[in-house]
Chain A
Amino acid sequence: MIEREIEISNKLGLHARAAAKLVHTAARFASDIKVKKGSEEVDGKSILGVLLLAAAKGSKITISADGSDENEAIESIQQLFDDKFDESE
């Protein structure tokens, strides 16, 4: 299992569209993917879970992936955050 801490830097945080992209990406992989904020951990493949984290800009989350394609999964997700979900700032 690998974990990565990410600070949310896109303007609107993990709102519906960003959360949808995250879930969409996570769902492409066989690995279990979790998103954790503070003490709360949710399934990275559940949009409600991700939305309910209420991760606004500036908050820190931890993504973990566990499975055969965990490396690829975590890289793809990291990429989403790095690209700020392709949002115009």
Chain B
Amino acid sequence: MTEEPRGRLRTYKGTGVSPGIAIGRALILEKRGGSIYRVPIRPDDVAKELRRFDQAIAHTKAEIEDLREKVTRSMGDEYASIFDAHAMIIEDPSFVDEIRQRIESELISAEWAVTTVKDELLARFDSFEDAYLRERGEDISDVARTLIESLEGNARHDLSEIEHDVIILADDVTPSDAVHYNRKPIVGFATESGGRTSHTSIIAKSIFLPAVIGVPRLTEMIDNEELVIIDGWEGTIHVNPSRAMIEECLSRERRHREQEGRLLENRDVPPVTRDGRTVTLRANIELVPEVNDAIRFGAEGIGLYRSEFLYISKSPDLPSEDEHYEVYRELLEKMSPNTTIIRTFDLGGKKLAREVIGSDEDNPVLGLRGLRLCMRHRDMFRTQLRALYRASVHGDLWIMFPLVSNLQEVRHVKALLKEIERQLEAEGIEFRKDIPVGIMIEVPAAALIADILATEVDFFSIGTNDLIQYSLAIDRGNENVEYLYEPFHPGVLRMIRGVIRAGSEANIPVSLCGEMAGDPIFTAILLGLGLEHFSMSPASIPMVKSVITNLKYSDSRRIAEQALLRKTAQEIEEYVIEQVATRIPQGLSRFG
């Protein structure tokens, strides 16, 4: 803990996943069970913090006493005596005085002081040889947890009390954390782990929060309160920047914004190639307010609404039918008459579904997730589907199911939809009868049987993030194999080509809503493979549109054809970049 920032300029390199410059004071976020922030406090606030701690002790004592009584009644005195130990721990000066002392001398929040003292004690217990005694550390954990819960109950340390801008630094940030960062004083964040296409990165981008990920040992190398610049374009973090450096970053920010402004001028230009082929550019969003960004950047509809964020923001509770309905209605009304494709809950895998699944899985990414999870938890699913049907009268709703791997799944879910329709009819509730029903193609086997699947659905959307990671058998968030994440892999491109062909032969629309759709480097080849519907983060739309309006469809056909004759991802990438660079005056950049 430092009160005196180290003062030295340092620069760390990571991966920029959300563009922009953010300047603020470092706030290190520690994740241990709940979110406990290492929040610094002002010397003036020490007395207040100590009072808060004393109240928490009183509350914890009462709670332990209460528990003791309950257990005595139900199980007898012998069992209840375990709470004697808890009651003693909370009164033990070597515990509580130590915490008080740290609040005073280190100027930290009570929550953080409890956490550090507890962790140090646990480390000592962990070193015991006797297994039974070692496990007694649990008693300390228990008491510490109750203490922290009471602290959080009383005047929880609210980030909104912090008056200056802060940059969150953490070993990892979950999508649900990121959703909540969408407000002051948080202006940016950086993490030790994570991949470019992780959901956290997607969210950061969608709420325009500059973010840098994948900086090893970040939280150890930077101290709380140090001045930090996050450069989401370059993927760098500058600590204790000079005035000149701040100026330089800000002017770069201005240049980028100006460029973005120029791109935004094409907002109302239709996405048509120079030789007259029209495509649609829709937006991927997860939060309702992003509809405004979608409109601002010129999206012609929502190509992917990730409804699971509705769940994540309410977790651990499930949204009610009316809560679902209100969100969908608002989306549809705002986007009308354009299409809004709503994807049903894509939970599971790494996406926080433990409350729903109820247990950990050995291999969650290949486990109960996506449509599989929803079909297992029918009540939850019915609630969502009923709300979707009810909302369908407010706009052009298309419903999409994630992670389908065979035809049976499609048939089962369609049977469920029929059931919902009958139910709503019986209840006299109005809904649209012709809602298009589609699936995500993100499992390699599904891509290979796209012709079969196309006979039973109204549209496809290719989810390249998962499709790539499953077909290449690499975890896109794993730094060790991230180099193998190759969207230009000929196997990946052949699969995409196959799905687009199958769709076109069956006369159903095919869209692509993975990260590839929003990265201008892929625009020409996707266009050339015959893709007509692109869906991407709203901010990517102007750049992709400018690539499209500068290309000829006939040229991109040739580029795609020639590219697919090449044998490695690298050869294809080099070829495509070279071909496109000569046709696009402003050149290609990954971040518009």
A residues apposed to B, CB below 8 Å: 12-17, 19-21, 23-24, 43, 46-49, 51-52, 54-56
Q: How far does the alpha carbon of A74 sit from the alpha carbon of B130 in the complex, in Å?
A: 27
Cβ A47 vs Cβ B85 within 8 A: yes
Contact of A17 among B85, B95, B128, B130 (CB under 8 A): B85
Contacts beyond the supplied A12-B132, A20-B84, A48-B140: 10 A-B pairs with Cβ under 8 Å: A13-B132, A15-B133, A16-B139, A20-B81, A24-B88, A47-B88, A49-B92, A52-B124, A54-B133, A56-B129
Indicate whether A23 sits within 8 Å of B88 (C-beta atoms), given known contacts A16-B139, A49-B94.
yes
Which chain B residues numbered 75 to 124 have a C-beta less than 8 Å away from chain A?
81-82, 84-85, 88-89, 92-95, 121, 124
Tell me whether B377 is interfacial, beta carbon within 8 Å. Answer: no
Tell me whether B590 is interfacial, beta carbon within 8 Å. Answer: no
Complex contacts, B128 vs chain A, CB 8 Å: 54
Cβ B130 vs Cβ A54 within 8 A: yes
Tell me whether B136 is interfacial, beta carbon within 8 Å. Answer: yes
- Nearest Cβ in chain B — how far from A39, in angstroms? 15
Complex contacts, B134 vs chain A, CB 8 Å: 54
Cβ A19 vs Cβ B85 within 8 A: yes
Cβ A48 vs Cβ B133 within 8 A: no
Q: Which are the 9 A-B pairs with shortest beta-carbon distances?
A: A56-B130, A16-B85, A47-B88, A20-B84, A20-B85, A54-B128, A54-B133, A46-B94, A48-B92
Complex contacts, B82 vs chain A, CB 8 Å: 16-17
Q: How far does the alpha carbon of A12 sit from the alpha carbon of B82 in the complex, in Å?
A: 14
Q: How far does the alpha carbon of A52 sit from the alpha carbon of B124 in the complex, in Å?
A: 7
Complex contacts, A21 vs chain B, CB 8 Å: 81, 84
Complex contacts, A55 vs chain B, CB 8 Å: 133
Main secondary structure of the interface of A (DSSP, over half): helix
Q: How far does the alpha carbon of A14 sit from the alpha carbon of B329 in the complex, in Å?
A: 63
Which chain B residues numbered 57 to 89 have a C-beta less than 8 Å away from chain A?
81-82, 84-85, 88-89
Which chain B residues numbered 148 to 199 have a C-beta less than 8 Å away from chain A?
none
Q: How far does the alpha carbon of A4 sit from the alpha carbon of B137 in the complex, in Å?
A: 28
Cβ B132 vs Cβ A15 within 8 A: yes
Q: How far does the alpha carbon of A55 sit from the alpha carbon of B133 in the complex, in Å?
A: 8
Cβ B129 vs Cβ A48 within 8 A: no
Complex contacts, A20 vs chain B, CB 8 Å: 81, 84-85, 88
16 contacts between A and B (CB under 8 A): A15-B133, A16-B82, A16-B85, A16-B136, A20-B81, A20-B84, A21-B84, A24-B84, A47-B85, A47-B88, A47-B89, A48-B94, A49-B92, A51-B125, A54-B129, A56-B133
Complex contacts, B93 vs chain A, CB 8 Å: 46
- Nearest Cβ in chain B — how far from A34, in angstroms? 13
Q: How far does the alpha carbon of A23 sit from the alpha carbon of B85 in the complex, in Å?
A: 9
B residues apposed to A, CB below 8 Å: 81-82, 84-85, 88-89, 92-95, 121, 124-125, 128-130, 132-134, 136, 139-140
Q: How far does the alpha carbon of A54 sit from the alpha carbon of B124 in the complex, in Å?
A: 10
Chain B minimum-CB-distance residue to A53: B133
- Nearest Cβ in chain A — how far from B372, in angstroms? 43
Cβ B124 vs Cβ A47 within 8 A: no
Cβ B95 vs Cβ A48 within 8 A: yes
Complex contacts, A12 vs chain B, CB 8 Å: 132
- Nearest Cβ in chain A — how far from B336, in angstroms? 63
Complex contacts, B95 vs chain A, CB 8 Å: 48
| Chain A CB within 10 A, most for which of B85, B93, B121 | B85
Q: How far does the alpha carbon of A46 sit from the alpha carbon of B121 in the complex, in Å?
A: 14
- Nearest Cβ in chain A — how far from B77, in angstroms? 11
Q: How far does the alpha carbon of A23 sit from the alpha carbon of B89 in the complex, in Å?
A: 11
- Nearest Cβ in chain A — how far from B159, in angstroms? 32
Q: How far does the alpha carbon of A14 sit from the alpha carbon of B128 in the complex, in Å?
A: 13
Cβ B84 vs Cβ A48 within 8 A: no
Complex contacts, A14 vs chain B, CB 8 Å: 133
Complex contacts, A47 vs chain B, CB 8 Å: 85, 88-89, 92
| Chain B CB within 10 A, most for which of A15, A16, A23, A24 | A16
Complex contacts, B92 vs chain A, CB 8 Å: 46-49
Complex contacts, B130 vs chain A, CB 8 Å: 13, 54, 56
Q: How far does the alpha carbon of A46 sit from the alpha carbon of B90 in the complex, in Å?
A: 10
Q: How far does the alpha carbon of A60 sit from the alpha carbon of B443 in the complex, in Å?
A: 63
Chain B minimum-CB-distance residue to A57: B130
Chain A minimum-CB-distance residue to B133: A54
Complex contacts, A48 vs chain B, CB 8 Å: 89, 92, 94-95, 121, 140
Chain B minimum-CB-distance residue to A59: B130
- Nearest Cβ in chain A — how far from B128, in angstroms? 4
Q: How far does the alpha carbon of A24 sit from the alpha carbon of B89 in the complex, in Å?
A: 12
Complex contacts, B94 vs chain A, CB 8 Å: 43, 46, 48-49
Complex contacts, A52 vs chain B, CB 8 Å: 121, 124-125
Complex contacts, B124 vs chain A, CB 8 Å: 52
Cβ B129 vs Cβ A17 within 8 A: no
Complex contacts, B85 vs chain A, CB 8 Å: 16-17, 19-20, 47
| Chain A CB within 10 A, most for which of B124, B125, B129, B130 | B130
Q: How far does the alpha carbon of A50 sit from the alpha carbon of B585 in the complex, in Å?
A: 76
- Nearest Cβ in chain A — how far from B478, in angstroms? 39
Q: How far does the alpha carbon of A48 sit from the alpha carbon of B98 in the complex, in Å?
A: 12
Q: How far does the alpha carbon of A52 sit from the alpha carbon of B123 in the complex, in Å?
A: 11
Q: How far does the alpha carbon of A13 sit from the alpha carbon of B133 in the complex, in Å?
A: 8
Complex contacts, A51 vs chain B, CB 8 Å: 125, 133, 136, 139
Complex contacts, B140 vs chain A, CB 8 Å: 48
Chain B minimum-CB-distance residue to A17: B81
Q: How far does the alpha carbon of A73 sit from the alpha carbon of B134 in the complex, in Å?
A: 28
Chain A minimum-CB-distance residue to B89: A47
Complex contacts, A13 vs chain B, CB 8 Å: 130, 132-133
Complex contacts, B88 vs chain A, CB 8 Å: 20, 23-24, 47
- Nearest Cβ in chain A — how far from B29, in angstroms? 28
Q: How far does the alpha carbon of A20 sit from the alpha carbon of B84 in the complex, in Å?
A: 6
- Nearest Cβ in chain B — how far from A60, in angstroms? 14
Q: How far does the alpha carbon of A46 sit from the alpha carbon of B133 in the complex, in Å?
A: 16
Chain A minimum-CB-distance residue to B93: A46
Contact of B136 among A15, A23, A43, A46 (CB under 8 A): A15
